[in-house]
A = this chain, B = another copy of it.
């Protein structure tokens, strides 16, 4: 079974390839589709990952997996959430993190709950089967930007059970417990069971 990953990010392809089951082959969308991008204008991670999977699969005429993810801060009602990548669009992540830390200036540690969420979707345009699942990693927002590893909001996110941020822990530890890993593991669990589920006619 060959499935395309709806991404232009080689790094993400490598990450997914490390957790995929043996009998599934993952190819990057970018290997056959140049300059293709889906407008991620959904109101939720779920909407965006579904949209990305369907639109990409219709162009490729092949099964696709897609994901959308971001950071949700509880006391900010889930902000930045689905806008994680897009808010303050012309600013660096360093500036975005400074903005968030400022907003949480007077919030004590026990109320700084946050989670990284990833919605992952599989869609096969040949039989119109679609699955979406979600993975999360819970944690707290640190009081300052700590560590230079990882990317995005990693330097302000301390996963539960750790005392350091993802920015300090680095990607090898992050990838072991990440929201994306958890989401894709669930998706692969479904995919390898499809033949047994008798849902293909």
Q: Which residues does A use to contact B, with CB under 8 Å? A: 45-47, 50, 54, 119, 127-136, 182, 186, 189-190, 193, 196-199, 201
Contacts and interface: CB of A to CB of B under 8 A. Distances in A.
Please give the count of copies of this chain that the complex contains: 2
A72 B5 CA distance: 30
Nearest to A58: B44
Contacts of A190: 197, 199
A22 to B, nearest CB: 18
A46 B130 contact: yes
Given A54-B46, A193-B197, A199-B189, A132 B129 contact: yes
B197 A182 contact: no
Contacts of A133: 128-129, 199
Contacts of A128: 45-46, 119, 132-134
Nearest to A128: B134
12 contacts: A45-B128, A46-B54, A46-B128, A50-B130, A119-B128, A128-B132, A129-B134, A130-B130, A133-B199, A186-B197, A189-B197, A190-B199
